[in-house]
Structure 1
Amino acid sequence: MAIKKTALYSSLWASCDELRGGMDASQYKDYVLTLLFMKYVSDKFKGDPYGMILVPQGASFDDMVELKGSKNIGEDINTIISRLAEENDLKGVIDVADFNDEDKLGKDKEMVDRLSKLIGIFEGLDMSSNRADGDDLLGDAYEYLMRHFATESGKSKGQFYTPSEVSRIVAKVVGISHDTPQDASVYDPACGSGSLLLKASDEAPRGLSIFGQEMDNATAALARMNMILHNNATGKIWKGNTLSDPHWKDPIGQLKLFDFAVANPPFSNKNWTSGINPTEDLFGRFNWGIPPEKNGDYAFLLHILKSLKSTGKGAVILPHGVLFRGNAEARIRENLIKQGYIKGIIGLPANLFYGTGIPACIIVLDKEQAKHRTGIFMIDASKGFKKDGNKNRLRDQDIHKVVDVFTRQLQLPRYSRMVPLAEFAGNDYNLNIPRYIDASEPEDLHDLSAHLQGGIPNADIESLERFWQVFPSLRATLFKPGRAGYCDALVGANQVKSTILAHPEFTAFSERSLAPFQQWRDSSNLASIHPGDKPKAVIHRISEDLLERYSAIPLLSKYDVYQILMDYWAETMQDDVYVLVQDDWAAGRQLRELVAKKGEKLKETPDLVIGKSKYKAELIPPALISMRFFPQKVARIGQLQAAYDNASQELESYLEEHCGDDGLLNEALNDKDKVTKASMTARQRLASDPEEVAALKQAKKLFDAEANAKNALKGDEEALDQAVFRQYSALSLDDVQALLIEDKWLASLQAGIEAEIERVTQQLTNRVRELEQRYACALPELTAEVESRSKRVVEYLRAMGLEA
């Protein structure tokens, strides 16, 4: 059975738990990622003399398994890893972590137990049937771990990883196209774990030639492993300080020139001049100005610019300060703008990056069109994100919108515009985005005249014009003309929503809004998914189709609809598709029996329990089979559940009524102050008071009724479970496809889109209700109400013999 992404991720994170006590995340990442690498290459290449990695005798993960419980386990693991490293020129890459370090892993039995458990977690993962090419299940798992390590590493150690969402934007706006040849090069002078380089390479149809440099030894090792796990073993990663000792040079000792460059250099590096004299730079990187000694942001930007061919293109992530800081940086900025090297600037939300909460931007460079450049395209994407713990994260829709707008140079209000170079000159070449794009929402102003004289301002009603264009007669249903410039409400605030939902124009809108989904479900051809397909290609195809079909539907944002699909893909659908592309549709018939290891609890929640056996459905939940094949049984169980709930409620109410201090059932309470069937039966033998005897009989009757209802329900539920259990093996492939596509995937997605239509309607409802309530009582009415209440108070005081 294929590994599901979520199952793989949870297993890998469980391995981190085994190490969590002895070291922080910045340290234990080296252990976990090394074992992930060892397990993957062993499963993938053991016994293959032509494999990308040669696994020699005695140097596989299987040899590690043999060490479980051994007192020399740490030392022997180091030996195994060292053999693999020597055979594949990976010294200093996969042997960075010391598995015999007592300070980190504990001494004696503690180390043996910890490493044995760690190996046991990886032992349960079969990676031989999972590919890392095209659909990089292992590569994605690597990024999953890197994100969690970065989250836990804190401010000082989280910079080895660029959030994958930001990497995706950088890779898509740098200028790589379907025509980019395989021998084109991409360069990252501060490559960290290599995620930016890999994302950029993935944008080219046949990949790119990868070159990177990373100052931190351990992080450079992570990048090398990352290349191999992503089937990019030829990617060249060098250890060293790019600014003081750039490795990649041409035959005459000058900087090697590249077609593309991507980078997320350390923000505002205060030691960038270490080992370098900028005024005598051998490579001429600082001809446009020397950055401040205590701030290296422009040092990396200028290095990248110098490393690009005359037709080269780059995209660099830098803090917002580079856009507006003065002095030396202002002069550099002016020179770069005048030379036309800056193609675009994309402002990102704050708190995206690990290690800092400050906002950053992407500066897009383009030497090829520099001479003809008349403006810089700017995007303010700072508002598009979701909260994820203590960080912000870009959603799929945020990424897609940025890329669409930038690549098509679309000018959207409060979001993007092409700013002429002359406008920058008029602002002393300050590039601060808010100077050129006002992304703030219009202020919601109150109308003083409406508060004084009543009525709802026409201007507020007209601000909802996008709704009135879709519902042209609804406005007249909700409002009528009032005094000049104002209107009056025709529907009470509490009736606004029901009025909108019942309006025929809204019904027509709902039907129109679902039509593209119906067309998409027919064109998506989900039943064509077969072994060998690439899940990422599947989601790209169907998501782009859905996005396009919703591009012209009023009120609904195509990006919001797109996000519904992408969220469902991440939560559920991708796991299903990964199973299908490896085990085909027959996997829908399979139930996997869950068996816990001795002394351990089950790690998964069973979907079906038959007797003492517990089962997990790989693709199709039992509830879907119940609804499709046994609807009458399901309806019957619903009736029995309602009867059981009623019986329980009736019993609970009766006991509550008669169990007080003076209640007839007070003597039947047990030592936990509860009446049970046993305590009630015991009391019946002793009771003599007729009223108490009657109460006990009634309680027994209710107890029996509840028990009978429960037994009836349990019997039918077990019978249904048995029927469902038998039905799995009897499913035809057509049944499996109908259950998975229609009942699971499409039903969930349609519900999400219907909820989005409801959300849009709720926006109109809330605004109309807000306006009605805001101006419901004019000042004269409020004054009259105050006077009336004041008079009543005076009258009450007089009636009490008091003077106001």
Structure 2
Amino acid sequence: MAAEQKQKLEQQLWNIANTLRGKMDADDFRDYILGFIFYKYLSTKMDLYANTILQPDGLTFSQVEGHPDEALLLEELKQLAIDKLGFFLEPSELFSELARRGNAGGKNNFILGDLAKVLTHIEQSTMGYESEEDFGNLFSDLDLTSHKLGKSENDKNELIVKVLTHLDEIDFDLENTDSDVLGDAYEYLIGQFASGAGKKAGEFYTPQQVSSVLAQLVTVGKDKLKSVYDPTCGSGSLLLRVAKEVKDVSEFYGQEMNPTTYNLCRMNMIMHDVHYKRFDIKNEDTLERPQHIDQRFEAIVANPPFSANWSASPLFMTDERFSAYGKLAPSSKADFAFVQHMVHQLDDNGTMAIVLPHGVLFRGGAEGHIRKYLIEDKNYLDAVIGLPANIFYGTSIPTCILVLKKTRQNPDDVLFIDASQHFDKVKTQNVLLEEHIAKIITTYKNRTPEDKYSHIANLTMIAENDYNLNIPRYVDTFEAEARIDINAIALEIKTLDQQIATTDKTIADFCAELNIVTPF
């Protein structure tokens, strides 16, 4: 039933999102629709919580305004809500109330000004409290004055009222605390926007299939995690996916450079009912200005931008994340800089899994030097997994996953898995199905060698390959060509010649009967 409910909600939300399609480009209408859904979510949470608190007094939240003790009740509710929910809304500021006023009497009543004030007040309600950073500027991308919503103020208002009215008709079913249907539907919408965003999708979304592989890799043998961290967290899909693989994650940490995506990540966390006290997401450049540098994490996952530029400033040679290696990742390829950063933040009992372009496996120079240090000096590399090409939005290049641990159960070897040929094709995209993911994880758990799929290479073999990790050096995927029977082919050619001669004679006879020239 939950699956049907989820599918229905996803379709409803996507249909409403399409109300904005054609009015603006995908990035813009993504920000508006996700922002409005988030506003309704906060309103519903506030209403449910306030009604629970007021129930012993025989009151509902809607009855507070106009009550003789209105000021006292609102102040008490605010203090309780700020601690429990992290924010506060008054009854007149609830989503349902704005939608009702906008559509009262079947007319397009002007609510844009009130809506802007409400969104600002949500953020202001947290100022001076522990949740301030988690809710600050969350609605900064919802510009209600933008010409993209319409040419005139009435046009803008009409569109917004239409969207709010449709959203108001949907039951988010937040009373059902055992279900995360809304959170999953929100994630679905983010994925839908990513699938149509081309290259830009990589800035905020990791495909669920890849998230699933990474999440399962870092949770092998664990049903609880003290902490999970993503240094390039985007919309937070990877962090949330890790939480689905275990019974409990105590704390979520992430860093995201893009302000819009940073807002999306915080909304996504809250929409999945992750309490504001349990997540710490920062808006900064991870390599240049790390925000959690003194902390260590039990699980780390990342899908950083492939071969991104970074400063590679010589000053980083004194940075404890990089100094021990003796060399920095090239300024034009930050891949190993992200690896070094993650290794530094990995706890002694932790596991990290990072998606990278294949070049990290074999490129020389500084990258070869760093690769050798990680294997020979530290012995942190646990597995190398080759993924199919064309499974990420916006790029068709083949990618790989590096799994690293500071305390390895198999310190004498490295597991290589070549999953590059195990996928299904859906339209123009390659997709990992459940069976493909299960095969990767089972092979990693059991460290099972399999002909043309996986191989366990000892450290001596890797050293003999000069620490080149290119997967074909370890997993032989060579397919011998079928033997050719020359005599059979010669006989086949002879038979064809005879058939041609017979056909030519038949054609010549027809031509003679018709008294025309034979064409050969």
TM-score (normalised: structure 2) = 0.83
- Describe the shift of the 1:311–1:789 C-alpha distance in structure 2 as closer, same or farther (beyond 3 A): same
Match of 1:435 among 464, 473, 476: 473
Partner residue in 1 for 2:229? 187
- The gaps in structure 2 that reach 5 residues or longer are 51-79, 127-131
Does the aligned pair in 2 maintain the 1:352–1:393 contact within 8 Å? yes
1:125 deviates by 0.7
What is the correspondence of 1:469-480 to structure 2 with a 5 Å cutoff?
none
Pair 1:170-2:217 in alignment: no
Pair 1:413-2:447 in alignment: no
Partner residue in 1 for 2:120? 82
**Aligned residue type for 1:413:** D
**Deviation per CA, 1:543-562, whole angstroms, max 9, x where unpaired?**
xxxxxxxxxxxxxxxxxxxx
Greater Rg over alpha carbons, structure: 1
1:444 deviates by 4.3
| Residue aligned with 1:247, SS | coil
Partner residue in 2 for 1:124? 169
What is the correspondence of 1:476-625 to structure 2 with a 5 Å cutoff?
none
| Residue aligned with 1:259, SS | strand
Q: Distance in 2 between matches of 1:114 and 1:802?
A: 76
**Aligned residue type for 1:197:** L
Q: Distance in 2 between matches of 1:802 and 1:243?
A: 81
Q: Distance in 2 between matches of 1:157 and 1:258?
A: 27
Does the aligned pair in 1 maintain the 2:325–2:370 contact within 8 Å? no
Match of 2:258 among 193, 210, 216: 216
Q: Which has the higher contact order (CA 8 A, sep 6+)?
A: 2
What is the correspondence of 1:169-318 to structure 2 with a 5 Å cutoff?
169-180=213-224, 182=225, 184-233=226-275, 234-249=278-293, 255-273=294-312, 277-281=315-319, 283-284=321-322, 287=325, 289-318=327-356
Aligned-residue Cα RMSD (Å) equals: 2.7
Partner residue in 2 for 1:56? 89
**Aligned residue type for 1:68:** G
Worse-superposed segment, 421-430 or 316-325: 421-430
Q: Distance in 1 between matches of 2:88 and 2:305?
A: 36
Pair 1:66-2:66 in alignment: no
Q: How many residues align?
A: 470
Q: Distance in 1 between matches of 2:482 and 2:12?
A: 50
Pair 1:114-2:159 in alignment: yes
1:147 deviates by 1.0
Q: Distance in 2 between matches of 1:280 and 1:138?
A: 46
Pair 1:366-2:405 in alignment: yes
1:162 deviates by 0.7
- Describe the shift of the 1:73–1:357 C-alpha distance in structure 2 as closer, same or farther (beyond 3 A): farther
Does the aligned pair in 2 maintain the 1:380–1:433 contact within 8 Å? yes
1:780 deviates by 4.1
| Residue aligned with 2:15, SS | helix
Does the aligned pair in 1 maintain the 2:235–2:268 contact within 8 Å? yes
**Aligned residue type for 1:63:** E
Q: Distance in 2 between matches of 1:94 and 1:143?
A: 17
Does the aligned pair in 2 maintain the 1:297–1:318 contact within 8 Å? yes
Match of 1:356 among 395, 408, 419: 395
1:148 deviates by 1.5
Does the aligned pair in 2 maintain the 1:268–1:295 contact within 8 Å? yes
**Deviation per CA, 1:365-401, whole angstroms, max 9, x where unpaired?**
111118x522211111122223334432222222222
**Aligned residue type for 1:174:** V
Partner residue in 1 for 2:496? 782
- Describe the shift of the 1:439–1:46 C-alpha distance in structure 2 as closer, same or farther (beyond 3 A): farther
Worse-superposed segment, 160-169 or 330-339: 330-339
TM-score (normalised: structure 1) = 0.55
Percent identity at matched positions?
Answer: 35
- Describe the shift of the 1:345–1:134 C-alpha distance in structure 2 as closer, same or farther (beyond 3 A): farther
Q: Distance in 2 between matches of 1:390 and 1:235?
A: 36
- Describe the shift of the 1:386–1:802 C-alpha distance in structure 2 as closer, same or farther (beyond 3 A): closer
1:446 deviates by 3.9
Pair 1:449-2:487 in alignment: yes
Q: Distance in 1 between matches of 2:456 and 2:18?
A: 50
**Aligned residue type for 2:18:** D
Q: Distance in 2 between matches of 1:367 and 1:444?
A: 46
**Aligned residue type for 1:165:** Q
1:135 deviates by 3.8
Q: Distance in 2 between matches of 1:196 and 1:322?
A: 22
**Aligned residue type for 2:102:** K
Partner residue in 2 for 1:5? 6
Q: Distance in 1 between matches of 2:387 and 2:448?
A: 17
1:66 deviates by 2.9
Partner residue in 2 for 1:19? 20
Partner residue in 2 for 1:713? none
Does the aligned pair in 2 maintain the 1:26–1:157 contact within 8 Å? no
Q: Distance in 1 between matches of 2:408 and 2:516?
A: 92
1:94 deviates by 2.8
Q: Distance in 1 between matches of 2:441 and 2:517?
A: 75
**Deviation per CA, 1:70-96, whole angstroms, max 9, x where unpaired?**
564223212112222333435435322
**Deviation per CA, 1:451-509, whole angstroms, max 9, x where unpaired?**
335xxxxxxxxxxxxxxxxxxxxxxxxxxxxxxxxxxxxxxxxxxxxxxxxxxxxxxxx
Does the aligned pair in 2 maintain the 1:93–1:222 contact within 8 Å? no
Partner residue in 1 for 2:190? 146
1:263 deviates by 0.8
1:345 deviates by 1.2
